[in-house]
Structure 1
Amino acid sequence: MLGVCALVSTGVVVSTTAASAEEEPATGSLQTFAAEAFAPQADELPTGLVEAIQRDLGISAEEYLANAAAAKVAADVSAQLVEAGVDINATVIDGQDVTLYVAAEADVAAAEAVGAKVEIGEPESHDYSQYDFEPKIDHKGGYAFFTLADEETGSGFRCSVGFSGYTPQGDDRYLTAGHCGLDGETYEQLLGPVYDVPLDGPIGPPTNPPTPLEVGEEIGDITDGSMHFGPDFVNYDAGLVDLTNPDWDGVPQVAGWGGGQGAPDANSVTVYGTIDAVVGAEACKSGSTTGWTCGNITSAEETVTFGTGETVTGFIFDACMLGGDSGGSIVVGNYALGVNSGSNFGPDCNTGDFGIGFAVSGGQYNALDILGDQWELNVAVNAPAVTTPEDGGETGQSVTFEGTVEGGTADHRVSVSVDGGTAVEGAVAADGSFSVPLEGDLEPGEHTYAVQAFYGNHSQSEVTEGSWTVTEAPPVEQLVVDSPTEGQTTSNARPEFAGAGQPGATIALTVGDAEFGTAEVGEDGAWTLTPASDLPVGVRFDAVVTQTFEEDTQKVTVAGLGIEAADVTITTPEDGSTVAGDVTFEGTSFAGATIGLLLEQAADAAADDAQPRLGLRAEGEDDVEEWAGEFEIDDAGNWTFDPAEDLPEGEYTITAQATLEGGDPELSDSEAVATFTVANGGGDDDGNGEDGDGDLPDTGSSGTTWMIVGGVALLLAGGAAVALRARRNTTA
């Protein structure tokens, strides 16, 4: 008697590298794919699958593969966000439009950064408790197999193969549903062994009485202890079968239903890796009863209880599966999604709503988590396409191997061996690209390479071989700074630097820890660089020019450069002008300047004593009294002084001095002088002050030095100048 088991469908994987004709975003971002780019892969799909896609999904095979590639990227990006601490409740895809449901506002920015539409909360949920799920008890994924249950009667159960894989030692072992290897009442492991059921096509819905089937040759045995299903394994439905018949080879494919034994037929679907369930993704299942059927994932993880009492947690999708499909393959594109577990579909697929698949990866319960130490997915790995170095081409002595692995993902890796030496391994990015730098420089001459791609411990590609010539790199041109020269000064705070160097090299200008811009050396070997911001004013500094070319770095220091500060000026009163006694003094200087003012009244020939002198800051002036008043200076060095008392009539000379604390006097110090007359000025009625002698107002104090006023000196990072003038003489 031949019983009927339920199957889980295999996943389909597509090459994200070949699929997109658009510019690919950086790893970690969502991607969209043009359907027409998948025409070559669509032509390779089995006819039965193409018909199922068009019938059940209402889209073309090209659209199905493009959407599958987008779903794979969405699943990977969502997993990366979760690992980074983003609280994602669900990932939902509609065609290629992705919505991430996050837990809180704090998660929105990170989710939006990958290019998704973001909603706070949970997506609309489904109540699956109303559906009556039943396990469909009844080599290359999708193939039928029979497990002996009773030696005396010869009875047993038919199921479908999920995905080919390996033992830790590299022997063939395939994944199927756990209930396919257990007694339905005692949950003890079936007696076995396991036999092939040769088919020319899907068996079709069960009949009563059952259609007799021929059991083929013995192919293997149930892996002891691997069948996870039933009361002792709540939420699980996965198991393993060892393929021990040496005439059979497990291959990374799902049957295309062309029939035949042993090697897969030409229409099979190639498996390139795994994919996590994403709501809205289009999934297709393969099984020995119904062949290919397709639908959309409606829940990424749901727990259902079968009518017989077992509990399974998996993804829900609306593709038909019937008895005997159990354990078969469920795919999204060329990616392995899960194995058929159960459904509520009737005998002919005309009744029912949903099926449940047990995931290969992702979610809280999956096959790799519980069986990963016993099983590894068999994946088709394409040979790497090496773009650098070009086969037959030339490179310098420092070499980085670059290229792509079609269909490769971040789960892949590559190894590079030069001249038969020790292999160097490198990672493959999510888009299939790789970049593997070699340590040290290669000797000039001809070299050979061998590059191979891997997935896991046992899936590997063919070796890509080639040769190229390494040429000795010409010496790097010496960095030269023609201008400015050591010790030069200028009033331009952003002077041009110029010189010569290695064509294509990068030139950088720094003063201390601050960088002031970069430039590239032209093909003629000349370079110029204008600072991006003002260099230090009023101080001496050293400018460092750095040339970087490949692994060569050169530095030239131009010492003792200086940017001259602006001269101090007196704008009010103007030289030679006549003003009132309540005059406010104004002028300009530079940022960070300290300003000193000295007011001198012309000598009165009729007086016996010299006229007093008032000052704000003076050095070496013994007869200068403090000049009371309000002084202000802004960040640009513009200053004003409003004396506390009006000036009496007379002729005056005001001297303004500017200095910079910590600065170079030759660059920062300057002096301005203005002579003016006060007419009808303040003071008492006769204009001569309280004592009537014509002196300046008595401030009530005197001193031997000027009062210090003005801003605190600002020392800015900066560079030097090209068009520099000779050092100026400061006024004594």
Structure 2
Amino acid sequence: MSTALLRRRGVARVSGVLGVCALVSTGVVISSTAASAEEETVTGSLQTFAAEAFAPQADELPTGLVEAIQRDLGISAEEYLANAAAAKVAADVSAELVDAGVNVNATVIDGQDVTLYVEAEADVAAAEAVGAKVEIGEPEQHDYSDYDFEPKIDHKGGYGFFTQASPDGSGYRCSVGFSGYTPDGADRYLTAGHCGLDGETYEQLAGPVSHLPLDAPIGPPQDPPPPLNVGDEIGDLTDGSFHFGPDFDNYDAGLVDITNPDYTGVPQVAGWGGGEGAPDENSVTVYGTIDAVQGAEACKSGSTSGWTCGTIQTPEQSVTFGTGETVTGFIFDACMLGGDSGGSIVVGNYALGVNSGSDFGPDCNTGSFGIGFAVSGGQYNALDVLGDQWELNVAVNAPAVSTPEDGGETGQSVTFEGTVEGGTADHRVSVSVDGGDAVEGDVAADGSFSVPLEGDLEPGEHSYAVQAFYGNHSQSEVTEGSWTVTEAPPVEELAVDSPSEGQTTGNARPEFSGTGQPGATVALTVGDAEFGSAEVGEDGSWAIAPESDLPVGVRFDAVVTQTFEEDTQKVTVAGLGIEAADVTITAPEDGSSVAGDTNFEGTSFGGATVGLLLEQAAADAAGDDAQPRLGLRAEGDDDVEEWAGEFEIDDAGNWTFDPAEDLPEGEYTITAQATLEGGDPELADSEAVATFTVANGGGDDDGDDDLPDTGSSGTTWMIVGGVALLLAGGAAVAVRARRNAGSTTA
């Protein structure tokens, strides 16, 4: 796997061209359509770190770097490392947001306070969800057109090296960026592209490359310059790897092969003891890469000026050197002098870039800004152009395994958990049990890992070997241990005691109860909807009260699922039902006397279809035919005279009917019937009857006591459905029997 796959996307791209006298902005292409951030789940979130937690790590920093941090940044080494950790997380989370479709224009950090600049309002919620302050638009950027940037031409990062340019022995001095590997695992380091090219023809220099043994940083140029002590030949320029100049606009990166067996690349950046001593007294260990984040504190190492520190002003800018070449990189305000080119730029323990150029000269008291070419991130970086030829050499700490505990016990189902100090999302771990095949897992951004093993292990003692990796060639020592696997007791069988199959109730939220495995989780579902869950108690009992009403009026199957470790059990209780409320007639009251303009009212249940039938008593006691019946009829039913008027029913089933004509005096019977379309009649159907007398109602002008003329001659009397209101929310489950059939409580 090429470490090009390990690179991160840039999160702030400000393009322009810087000349000696003018800045011409070329702009940036950014999508004007805000994304919903639902294309990919964002799992990371911003973090803050306490400075005191980094005291042990700060004690390992080179004295010269600590002095540079205090001198140039005005903060302690502990604060610098804590802020670097926050910047690393900010860069990774911002890249994850971009991968998820959020339009992030820039990431800006001040100490550990992170602000994300996004493209549109639709991007704000996703950016706020990771814990950032959010602004819409672009951050204000400084105009660097007045600064005169020049390339700083002149095994362990930060070392000085000399490249012979011609047979007469003349050549150029530069600094090593970061140790790394060829695809085959041989030592190869990264430096600036202009360090391996002729300054006029841009042809690759002849070489070889030699080490510069130094007792201290060389310091600013002197007149006359002191003699250069060229040491052992260490290797050769890698053919075709030097990207700089007219044919490689925006790039400044190249590779050097270490062929001398006496030299071995290590994942460190050379320290300069006291800022003046030899570069081997202390070193900075490299744990991975970091993208440029505006406001992050960065420090550079180089063979001329040693350690200097500054703050990233712009994450990505195109700069045109006074000699005509264009490089795109990050701008930061750390001193960089001739001969520092190619040297290491770090944020904490993470590789940020290599020294490219600056406006400093001839010393650190003259000038303001430098430009670094990124290792990863942004539109142009070393891994993008050289990732198939070079992989960063990273120090990988041995995993600390917390589960299973060395010498401890577990059940037969095992998940290995622990941390890799300094590990990031670019790391991975492998777990081997009893010398068997390794199982790999990812490391999270905070260095934690969780690797489940497939299947159950046999009871008894087992050994493990866990190792961490970065890329193809950087790996940790192996963490070994042993533990005992005990046979897991059988999981208690899930049982549902109540309700029983086919049971009905008028309670829309009946309690479900039973027994199961202590500590397990049980959940109640009907169809695709979950209605509640509970944990099985120590005594093995459980109970679930539904969190919302179960569907009414139809039969349904309820499923209870028990989950315990790797075991899942299901029990189905079939044919349950919730009884719908009976239809009622609340006005006129049964046995009451009312006026002829009376309105009819009553109740039923949500989703009910309600039908009404009005019957007038016989005209006299001599056995004359009864008067015609009136009803609210369903469409297409012509057997009942239509009862004209306005009928209304609400979501809860409360209904009203206002007849179009007053009723004449007489005795009447009103019948109401409720049904549910598609429902179970035993659960949903009901009827109510009330009798009443119209004592002083209107009637016809001729005094006849007939019902109002409806224009229909039908005389068949029946109850029919008239108005249907469907339940919102879909399918139903019901548990109700007709009242004359009796009912039970579920």
TM-score when scaled to structure 2? Answer: 0.87
Cα RMSD after superposing both structures: 2.9
Tell me by how many angstroms 1:398 deviates: 2.0
Output the amino acid matched with 2:469. F
1:549 aligned residue (559, 564, 572):
564
Larger CA deviation: 184-193 vs 557-566:
184-193
Q: How does 1:180-259 map to 2 (within 5 A)?
A: 180-258=195-273
CA separation of 1:48/1:677 partners in 2, compared to 1, >3 Å: closer, same or farther?
Answer: same
CA distance in 1, matches of 2:708, 2:206: 121
Contact 2:633 2:642 in 1 (8 A): no
2:499 equivalent to 1:487: no
Distance 1:297 1:490 in 2: 70
1:35 and 1:26, CA in 2 relative to 1: closer, same or farther beyond 3 A?
farther
- Residue identity in the other structure for 1:441: D
CA distances 1:566-614 after superposition (whole Å, capped 9, x unpaired): 2222211222222112221221122233333343444455545143252
Higher mean displacement: 481-490 or 694-703: 694-703
1:258 Cα deviation after fit: 4.0
The residue type equivalent to 2:626 in the other structure is Q
Q: Which residue of 2 aligns with 1:651?
A: 667
Give the Cα separation in 1 of the matches to 2:525 and 2:732.
Answer: 7
Match of residue 662 from structure 1 = 678
Q: Deviations over 1:381-403 (max 9, x none)?
A: 11111122222222222222222
| Structure-2 change in CA distance of 1:145 and 1:28 (3 Å) | same
* Aligned residues of 1:200 and 1:258 also touching (Cα < 8 A): no
Q: Please list, as runs of the form range in 1=range in 2, the aligned pairs for 1:570-581 lying within 5 A after superposition.
A: 570-581=585-596
User: What do residues 29-82 of structure 1 show as CA deviations (whole Å, max 9, x unaligned)?
Assistant: 332222222222111111111111111111111111122122222222333333
- Counterparts of 2:106 and 2:378, CA distance in 1: 11
One of 704, 710, 719 as aligned partner of 2:716: 704
Letter of the 1:136 partner, please give it: K
Identity of aligned residues (%): 85
Corresponding residue of 1:57: 73
How does 1:269-418 map onto structure 2 within 5 Å? Answer: 269-418=284-433
Q: Distance in 2 between matches of 1:485 and 1:272?
A: 61
How far apart in 1 are the matches of 2:233 and 2:270? 19
Within a 5 Å distance, the mapping from 1:143-182 to structure 2 comes to 143-152=159-168, 154-182=169-197
Tell me how far apart the structure 1 counterparts of residues 476 and 138 of structure 2 sit (CA, whole Å): 42
Query: Could you tell me which residue of structure 2 aligns to residue 69 of structure 1?
Result: 85
Q: Aligned in 2, Cα 1:437/1:565: closer, same or farther, shift over 3 Å?
A: same
| AA of the residue aligned to 1:462 | E
- Partners of 1:361 and 1:369 within 8 A in 2: yes
The equivalent residue for 2:646 is: 630
Question: What is the match of residue 114 of structure 1?
Answer: 130
Distance between the aligned counterparts of 1:246 and 1:120, measured in 2? 54
Q: Which amino acid aligns with 1:612?
A: Q
Alignment of 1:515-594 (within 5 A): 515-594=530-609
The equivalent residue for 2:23 is none
Separation (CA, whole Å) in 1 of partners of 2:342 and 2:319: 17
Q: Contact (CA 8 Å) 1:164, 1:175: kept in 2 or not?
A: yes
Mapped contact 2:294–2:312 kept (Cα < 8 A): yes
Between the aligned partners of 2:166 and 2:390, the Cα distance in structure 1 is 28
Task: Specify the SS of the correspondent of 1:91.
Answer: strand
Secondary structure of 1:728's aligned partner: helix
Deviation at 1:266? 5.6
- With over 3 angstroms needed to count, the CA separation of the structure-2 counterparts of 1:116 and 1:607, relative to structure 1, is same
**CA 1:725–1:673 in structure 2 vs 1: closer, same or farther (change >3 Å)?**
closer
Alpha carbons 1:495, 1:720 under 8 Å: kept: no
2:56 counterpart of 1:44 = no
Aligned residues: 694
The alpha-carbon deviation at position 408 of structure 1 amounts to 1.1
Q: Please, which moves more after superposition, 437-446 or 87-96?
A: 87-96
For structure 1, list consecutive stretches of 5 or more residues without a partner in the other structure. Answer: 1-24
User: Hey, what does 1:19 align to over in structure 2?
Assistant: none
Pairwise CA distance, 1:220: 2.1
**Residue of 446, 465, 468 corresponding to 2:483:** 468
Aligned equivalent of 2:452: 437
- Structure of larger gyration radius: 1
Q: In 1, Cα distance between the equivalents of 2:549 and 2:613?
A: 32
Verify the 8 A CA contact 1:149 1:192 in the aligned structure 2: yes
- The 1:652/1:53 distance shift into structure 2, 3 A limit, reads same
Between stretches 66-75 and 638-647, larger displacement belongs to: 638-647
Look up the SS of the partner of 2:582 in the other structure: coil
Post-superposition Cα deviations, 1:143-185, rounded to whole Å, max 9, x if no partner, equal 1222233444x43332221111111111111112222233334
Which residue in 1 is equivalent to 2:698?
A: 682
Counterpart code for 2:724: V
For 1:55 and 1:444, the matched residues in 2 are separated by: 60
- Are residues 680 and 243 of structure 1, via their aligned partners in 2, closer, same or farther at CA, if it must alter by over 3 Å? same
Contact 2:417 2:448 in 1 (8 A): yes
Contact 2:493 2:517 in 1 (8 A): yes
- Determine if contact 1:568/1:657 at 8 Å carries over to the other structure: yes
Is 1:728 paired with 2:740?
A: yes
- Alignment match, 1:458: 473
* Structure 1 SS opposite 2:190: strand
The CA deviation at 1:668 is 2.5
Give me the whole-angstrom Cα distance separating, in 2, the residues matched to 1:720 and 1:537: 4
Query: Conserved in 2, the CA contact under 8 Å of 1:611 and 1:695?
Result: no
Which amino acid in 2 is paired with 1:128?
Answer: Y
Q: Counterparts of 1:272 and 1:171 in 2: how far apart (Å)? A: 19
Residue type matched to 2:180 in 1?
Answer: G
Amino acid aligned to 2:183: P
Q: Structure 1 residues 233, 595: CA separation in 2 closer, same or farther (over 3 Å shift)?
A: closer
The 1:107/1:542 distance shift into structure 2, 3 A limit, reads: closer
The letter of the residue matching 2:72 is D
Shift of 1:520: 2.0
Shift in CA distance, 459/494, structure 1 to aligned 2, threshold 3 Å: same
Deviations 1:271-330 (A, max 9, x none): 011112222211111111211111111222223333333332222211112122122111
Distance of aligned partners of 1:185 and 1:556 in 2 relative to their CA distance in 1, 3 Å threshold: closer
Q: Does 1:671 align with 2:687?
A: yes
- 1:38 maps to a residue whose letter is F
Determine helix, strand or coil for the equivalent of 1:436. Answer: strand
Residue in structure 1 matching 2:614, options 586, 595, 599: 599
C-alpha displacement of 1:645: 3.1
1:28 to 44, 58, 66: 44
Please give the alpha-carbon distance, in whole angstroms, between the structure 2 residues aligned to 1:88 and 1:623: 70
Among residues 157, 180, 194, which one is paired with 1:141 in the alignment?
157
Q: In 1, are the aligned partners of 2:555 and 2:733 still within 8 Å (CA)?
A: no
Whole-angstrom CA distance in 2 between matches of 1:376 and 1:38? 28
CA contact (8 A) 1:489 1:727 kept: no
Equivalent position of 1:95 in the other structure: 111
Which amino acid is the alignment partner of residue 654 of structure 1? I
Contact 1:514-1:718 at 8 Å conserved across structures: no
| CA displacement 1:631-680 (0-9 Å, x = unmatched) | 33222222223333323333333333333333333322333232322212
Structure 1 residue 726: Cα displacement: 9.5
Amino acid at match of 1:111: A
Contact 1:251–1:264 under 8 Å retained in 2: no
